[in-house]
Amino acid sequence: MPATVFLNSLNSFFNLSRAVLQKTHQEKQSTSTLGNIVGLSHNSVRNRYQNPKLWRISEIELLAMHYHLPTRSCIQMHGTVVELITYLQQLPSPERRQVERLCQIKTVNMAKRLDDDWSLLDLEKLQSGFQQWVIK
């Protein structure tokens, strides 16, 4: 599977996350209301308002459902991360190490975090690294 497929999935997810976050700012719902929607405390939502890169895939998905936006890219992103790890594990070592350097995360660590919910910051690092790798 080519790297461009991963980039397309990441780009699609980031388009949705931007729309969701824009909607949260437009509607200016209280942090406790948003916390109830995504299952976070008032302080956690406030932290995410201050640093939007802390939002996680599942939280973006819940907000998208709340705002009646399509959630397909969120669902797809969960699968993309799994496929990405498999793809990286099959690359020759020099290429894999190059991608790991560009993404600032090792494949082994990605595999350990498979059951975790990835933050926008983590996905941004993957997107940036893959963009640089595809251009080279």
Q: In this structure, are residues 21 and 53 in contact, taking their beta carbons and an 8 Å threshold?
A: no
In a domain, 135, yes or no: no
Does the pLDDT at position 135 exceed 80?
no
% of the chain residues with pLDDT over 90 = 51
Provide the residue range defining the domain that includes 59.
1-127
The amino acid at residue 92 is: P
In a domain, 95, yes or no: yes
pLDDT tens sequence across 58-106: 999 999 999 999 999 998 988 888 888 888 889 999 999 999 999 998 8
The predicted structure's pLDDT at residue 136 = 64
The predicted structure's pLDDT at residue 15 = 96
Structural domains in the chain (count): 1
Q: In this structure, are residues 70 and 16 in contact, taking their beta carbons and an 8 Å threshold?
A: yes
In a domain, 134, yes or no: no
3-state secondary structure of 27: helix
Residue whose C-alpha is closest to residue 99's, from 110, 88, 84: 88
In a domain, 132, yes or no: no
In a domain, 43, yes or no: yes
In a domain, 61, yes or no: yes
Query: What is d(CA 134, CA 48) in angstroms, rounded to the nearest whole number?
Result: 31
Query: What is d(CA 97, CA 114) in angstroms, rounded to the nearest whole number?
Result: 19
Structure tokens at 31: 């942090």
Task: Please state, rounded to an integer, the average pLDDT across all residues of the chain.
Answer: 89
H-assigned helices in the chain: 3-27, 31-38, 42-50, 57-66, 72-90, 93-103, 107-112, 120-135
In a domain, 136, yes or no: no
3-state secondary structure of 119: strand
pLDDT tens sequence across 25-52: 887 777 888 899 999 998 999 999 899 9
In a domain, 133, yes or no: no
